[in-house]
Amino acid sequence: MSNSPHDKVLDENLKWTQINEDVIRSMQNPRKAYWISVAVCVSMFFCAILAEIYQYRMGMGTAGLNNPHMWDMYLATFVFWIGMSHAGTLLSAILHIIHAQWRKPIYRFAEAMTTFSLLTAGFFPMIHLGRIWNLYWVLPYVSDRGVWPNFRSPLSWDAFAISTYLSASALFLVIGMIPDMAVLRDHTKGWRAKVYGVLALGWRGDDRQWRNFRKTYMLMACFLIPLAVSVHSIVSSDFSMSINPGWHVTTFPPYFVAGALYSGCAAIMTLFVCLRYFFRMEDYMTLNIMEKTTKLTFAIAGVWNYLLFVEFASVWYGHSVYDKELLIAKATGDYAPVFWTMIFCSTVVPFTMAFQKLRRHMPTMFIVSLFLQLGMYTERWMIVAPTLAMSHNPHQWDILWAPVVQWAIVFGSFGWFGLLFLVFVKVFPSVSMYEVKELTLHQKEEFEEERRMREAGMFMPESATAPPLPGDEHKRPEDRVAGRPGMEGA
Amino acid sequence: MSFKNIMENFSNYRKDAEMGGHHDYEHRWAMAIDLDVCTGCNACSTACYAENNLAVVGKEKFEKGQGMHWLRVERYWEDNDTREHPENGAMFLPMMCQQCGAATCEPVCPVAATYHTPDGLNAQVYNRCIGSRYCNNNCPFRVRYFNFWSYYESSWPEPLNMQLNPDLSVRDKGVMEKCTFCIQRIRVAKDLARREERKVIDGEFLTACAQACPTGAIVFGDTMNPESQVSKAWAKHQITRGPHTHTKPKDNPELRGYRIFAELNVDPSVMYLERVRETEV
């Protein structure tokens, strides 16, 4: 930890009672925009329900699929949602282990996002099955007929990986909320008090409980990180284990994991802006935190773009005619508009995040994050569809644009995710109270230390050497330390 | 019991992983299709529809690519701008499941609904299929057909349901299906041979397509029997089984045999004989 004022993520003088009050208030009277969002999500979800009922009754033909195009948007959406879940783990587990303090006010909703996007993703392999009612055959249950799933199939690995990841991340979410549940149990009435009472698991906040809690939390974090990496690697092997041009790519596992973190961080940015506005969380979800999230996203965008380039280059310099032809067709063929949308959204747009003024401007970042997600969605679709359109056998080449049933279900999945998420943030604290308290205490100690060192003449603040922020230029370095922007809200 | 199965079959599994394909074959059904003799008349496809209870999906769905023709006659034309012999017209290629020795469809099915039989066929267990459609995505030939709709009522309205072949089932929606080399006929012939305590005789039975072909372009038989017609054809054109044999030699025009996508090491069971053009001779 450096003592740079850049690490001052929120006002260290927030009173603990104030934190409790603010968070409990956020769960009671959100802005009107919250209720509008809920209504929109419900109606989107309703569209998907209708489409799914129709598809279930009539067969997969309603989704417009045909012989070469056996998979389409459903699988792309599946990969998209799985990917989104990864950033939650990044924030809650990886940054926990490396002691990044700024994650504390925002990791709770990111963790919730992980769980709910997994719940959404899990629907897609099911929805796209021809005989959904036999879904359980993918699981290795003991049957007296001695029939097992095919352990060589990446789809059956998916079933194991996703169910493990889902249960682990849900458990992580619930465990992380225990101290907050206890606070809420003591400060609410009615059904809320009962629910929180159960979830607090008898938390009294004594020494032993805190010690065990910390250990458990750290253990779960360590358990979750390899799981997150493996899940998306396994999802990528749905493609890379196949023989098709454009799918049979060795670099897919790291490429998918990078893409997952990328789209997930973009989703965190979107939700950050929304929650900050809905629940008037300006004191907790500060601009400094947003800036750090954005920088992280920018770095990940760099990694992802590098891996994308590696993929293209290895096809270009490889000797497979099928792959090369497919790559050229992606950039120039019928799917070219989608391809260039992807390149624009996920390679060009991220450069807006290189400018500090834009990073600290919430509406811009909201729009940028939506662009990034659009880019990542089209990227997933560009993996699934063009390969099927132009595989080995030229007789079976076909261009397919998804009909309305697919769109409705994909659209509705956003509604379902949004609904779960919005209900969660209303019922449970979207800001982790105990960790914010920890953070204020930590910061106070740090600043106290810094002040003492400065008085003793032992401390040279980093900002004395670093270039000053806009508006700070005229100040002396010492003043820059005290009067940092970022806490002003808005 | 089930764990015992896995442990006992582990050595087979290793062999399979290293060499590709099942190794203790009783028969290896295979084909030789002479494209020089093929006239593209589609009799094979029609016979397949009749024999295997294939659904007739109608023009609209067929155009969408949802047809159920296990055997399709692919048509190719030379590029209009560059073709040297416009009189040649279309080129035909009857394409059905190639019953690969190292089939790419088999390992990817999550429920093992498609598996390798001791006859060297890729069998599809309709009852086990959950319709993930991964098998067709991984098939370089794209010869697997999915029941995107329920066709029973639309395809065989009464009394047409009386024409259905009772030897095999009618598949309902959500199930993948494909050419089986007329496995129902294979079963009958094998059962009969076993009852009469003899081996299956070459030419004792044919697949529906081979039987219907007016020019005899499709030869069907067992490559484990060196005396069979198909073995002789394979031997004549120097095509051998195994995943690592490659495409036809270029130097000898007499050797017309090749296997499609052999370079992908899938070991197809169908050998095609290249068409000879009069203009080229």
Residue B181 domain-assigned (yes or no)? yes
Is pLDDT at A342 greater than 90 in this prediction?
yes
Interhelix angle for A433-455 vs A178-187, to 10°? 110
This model of the complex carries an ipTM of: 0.87
Is the Cβ pair A392, B107 closer than 8 Å? no
Q: What is the mean pLDDT of residues A6-16?
A: 73
Residue B28 domain-assigned (yes or no)? yes
Q: Counting beta carbons within 10 angstroms of the beta carbon of residue B102, is it exposed (0 to 12), middle (13 to 18) or buried (19 or more)?
A: buried
- CB-hemisphere CA count at 13 Å for A267? 33
- Partner-chain residue, chosen from B104, B141, B175, that has the shortest CB–CB distance to A393: B141
pLDDT digits (tens, 9 = 90+) for A442-467: 888 887 887 788 777 765 555 445 55
pLDDT of residue B165: 93
pLDDT digits (tens, 9 = 90+) for A343-390: 999 999 999 999 988 888 889 999 999 999 999 999 999 999 999 999
Is the Cβ pair B129, A130 closer than 8 Å? yes
- Number of compact structural domains in chain B: 1
pLDDT digits (tens, 9 = 90+) for A121-168: 999 988 999 999 999 999 888 888 878 898 889 999 999 999 999 999
Q: Which residue of B has its CA nearest to A148?
A: B111
pLDDT of residue B17: 58
Q: Which residue of A has its CA nearest to B104?
A: A243
Helix or strand (DSSP H, E) at A174: helix A154-176
Q: Which chain B positions have a beta carbon within 8 Å of A68's beta carbon?
A: 65, 142
Residue A111 vs residues A126, A173, A235, A421: alpha-carbon distances, Å = 24, 6, 20, 11
Determine what percent of chain A is predicted with pLDDT higher than 90. Answer: 52
Which residues, 6+ apart, have CB-to-CB distance to A258 below 8 Å?
Answer: A300, A303, A304, A307
Every domain of chain A and the residues it spans? 5-482
Q: How far is CA B87 from the centre of its chain?
A: 31
Q: Which of B138, B149, B155 to mutate to test the interface with A (most CBs of A within 10 A)?
A: B138
Q: Counting beta carbons within 10 angstroms of the beta carbon of residue B89, is it exposed (0 to 12), middle (13 to 18) or buried (19 or more)?
A: exposed
Strand B114-116 to B257-258 pairing: unpaired
Q: Which chain A positions have a beta carbon within 8 Å of B111's beta carbon?
A: 134, 137-138, 149-150, 156
pLDDT of residue A2: 42
Which domain, by its residues, includes B47? 22-276
Confidence label for A30 from pLDDT (cuts 50, 70 and 90):
confident
Confidence label for A488 from pLDDT (cuts 50, 70 and 90):
very low
Q: Are A272 and A282 in contact (CB under 8 A)?
A: no
Residue stretches of chain B with pLDDT short of 70: 1-3, 5-6, 11-23, 83, 243-250, 278-281
Q: Which chain B positions have a beta carbon within 8 Å of A134's beta carbon?
A: 111, 130
Q: What is the mean pLDDT of residues A235-242?
A: 92
Q: For residue A266, how many other CB atoms are within 10 A of its CB? A: 31
**Residue B187 has which token pair?**
């079963």
Between A91 and A411, the higher pLDDT residue: A411
Q: How far is CA A275 from the centre of its chain?
A: 15
pLDDT digits (tens, 9 = 90+) for A380-398: 999 999 999 999 999 999 9
Please provide residue B261's backbone torsions phi and psi, each rounded to the nearest 5 degrees.
Answer: 55, 30
Residue B2 domain-assigned (yes or no)? no
Q: What is the mean pLDDT of residues A424-447?
A: 86
In Å, how far is A161's CA from the nearest CA of chain B? 14
Please provide residue B87's backbone torsions phi and psi, each rounded to the nearest 5 degrees.
Answer: -70, -15
Q: Which residue of B has its CA nearest to A59?
A: B149
CATH ID of A5-482, from 1.20.1630.10, 1.10.10.10, 3.40.50.10860, 1.10.3720.10: 1.20.1630.10
Q: Counting beta carbons within 10 angstroms of the beta carbon of residue A264, is it exposed (0 to 12), middle (13 to 18) or buried (19 or more)?
A: buried
Is the Cβ pair A130, B146 closer than 8 Å? yes
Residue B228 domain-assigned (yes or no)? yes
| H-helix segments, B83-241 | 105-108, 134-137, 152-155, 183-195, 208-212, 229-236
A&B contacts, CB < 8 Å: 155
B45/A contact by beta carbon, under 8 A? no
B7/A contact by beta carbon, under 8 A? no
pLDDT of residue A1: 40
Is the Cβ pair B138, A242 closer than 8 Å? yes
CA gyration radius for chain A? 24
Q: Are B92 and B140 in contact (CB under 8 A)?
A: no
Is the Cβ pair B142, A61 closer than 8 Å? no
CATH number, domain of B49, equals: 3.30.70.20
- Partner-chain residue, chosen from A137, A242, A393, that has the shortest CB–CB distance to B137: A242
Residue B160 domain-assigned (yes or no)? yes
Q: Are A80 and B168 in contact (CB under 8 A)?
A: no
pLDDT of residue B31: 94
Q: Which of B111, B114, B151, B270 to mutate to test the interface with A (most CBs of A within 10 A)?
A: B111
Residues A192 and A211: their CA atoms lie apart, in Å, by 27
**Residue B232 has which token pair?**
């002789």
pLDDT digits (tens, 9 = 90+) for A38-59: 999 999 999 999 999 999 999 8
